[in-house]
Structure 1
């Protein structure tokens, strides 16, 4: 942690079983677990957490934190539902959903702070432990940029192998909602999506996205979006993406989820910046790809 030797606004602490970077900048606060490079709190000064964190979240080794922004890499979702080039790199049995990055230890690789903002980078070098499920060789770096007005994440994959690398991935952003039935997403109008709850059938989005129970869709575009969650208005922009995942477990699945209160589905949603389904990315040897998102907020007029 030599990068923190002269840090004024960050310190390494312990939450449960996990090492956590606590950032206490005069302009904002953030909490980031090194396991999974998992950001679970970001709040400009005087504001509440922009991210949803389950009240039942557990900070345990080998367990993903329920909430915040888990990093799904180097594959997204059900391994069997991934495109052929991604599946061809997977091996063994009991392959975990969403890859191994969200429960792997990441290392701090860079840190810079000013009076207005703070930037830090973490890296993941897949170890021999990951060879059980993954035949490829790659390096991942996640860069976080915090400011009073915006949160930016950039996930860069570098293919360190000698052959082609195919990945799917997502920045699995959980957002709080004061009432899910009053929550809408604008910007996806007219976009085709795969409805994973109905045999992955393609559908066309008619008007803004509303929530009427369990929702699990892969939209085949990544436009600028406005997310209205009752008291809050978020703006989400993506880069290096042509797919967006929208998810809410609804009442029945919520009862089956771990670390998730039965009624929590009414107060959260996920809008995920992704390379999913046909939007998988194939990298030649030495090639890089960056998946990025920026989240900002507007206050409702009083």
Structure 2
């Protein structure tokens, strides 16, 4: 674990009014903030750009809570696939900063989930997991998991990216034509037959998908690319559910959409002893 004295001058360890700790990045190429608890990036703004992530303005970011926005790490299960906290143990667990490198155009950070945390919460499983952030003109997040046990272990996960949009009613998402998806609201498997637009709650897992996804909103254009992922989750809670969500403004659904690199549903993985898997998302702007 890196000590505060080992950090480059572009990085600082700060605490908010509630005592939650963050790595604050102030670099000529990018500004960002990552919570140590959850290894959760909540801000990323490349120089000369608008923010790449949406963060709920009503989330007080208190310790021991799952934050609403940014890129929550859903690990080692997605949603309610297993008993225990929704989306797994990673979002509220303490992570250690183990590497930090600053270059002229890029900041690299690596955090590891404390081994004792995994042992305590998952006593029958043996994992090593770390997340790498590459902060530059785009954001790259890579979550690497290794099975350190003696038997195969199942893994499902997601990089639950909240992306900013001008107005959800004007958003069009392309790159999904012809792709089958599980509609979690209808309990059915359907096929995307046109660019996706929003007029109600959307909660879908797209399957066997590898390409880029483009989010068009007003004069902004975000692009999400992935690696180690054959499923992608799209989510917007819309009005009724937004009113029930914690740490979420009633009209928050208007200015966000989640496009999540995932290993979800039938894309869950079984790792053999000694096998590793890396899930990657890249978020940037396209001209």
TM range (shorter): over 0.9
Q: Is the 8 A contact 1:234 1:296 kept in 2?
A: yes
Root-mean-square deviation (Å)? 1.6
User: Structure 1: which 4+ aligned runs deviate by more than 2 Å?
Assistant: 1-4, 125-135
2:126 maps to 1:125: no
Secondary structure of 1:209's match?
coil
CA–CA separation in structure 2 for the residues paired with 1:4 and 1:189 = 50
Residue matched to 2:255: 267
CA–CA separation in structure 2 for the residues paired with 1:166 and 1:248 = 28
2:8 maps to 1:7: yes
* Distance change >3 Å, CA 4–CA 67, structure 1 → 2: farther
* Distance change >3 Å, CA 131–CA 119, structure 1 → 2: same
Q: Is the 8 A contact 2:52 2:283 kept in 1?
A: no
Secondary structure of 1:274's match?
strand
Gaps of 5+ in 2: none
* Distance change >3 Å, CA 196–CA 126, structure 1 → 2: farther
Deviation at 1:275, TM superposition (A): 0.2
Residue matched to 1:84: none
Residue matched to 1:83: none
2:56 maps to 1:54: yes
Q: 1:215 aligns with which of 202, 224, 244?
A: 202
2:270 maps to 1:282: yes
CA–CA separation in structure 2 for the residues paired with 1:163 and 1:278 = 21
Q: 1:202 aligns with which of 181, 184, 189?
A: 189
CA–CA separation in structure 2 for the residues paired with 1:68 and 1:286 = 31
Q: Is the 8 A contact 2:119 2:126 kept in 1?
A: no
Residue matched to 1:23: 25
* Distance change >3 Å, CA 6–CA 106, structure 1 → 2: closer
CA–CA separation in structure 1 for the residues paired with 2:123 and 2:246 = 26
Secondary structure of 2:60's match?
coil
Residue matched to 2:72: 70
CA–CA separation in structure 1 for the residues paired with 2:121 and 2:111 = 23
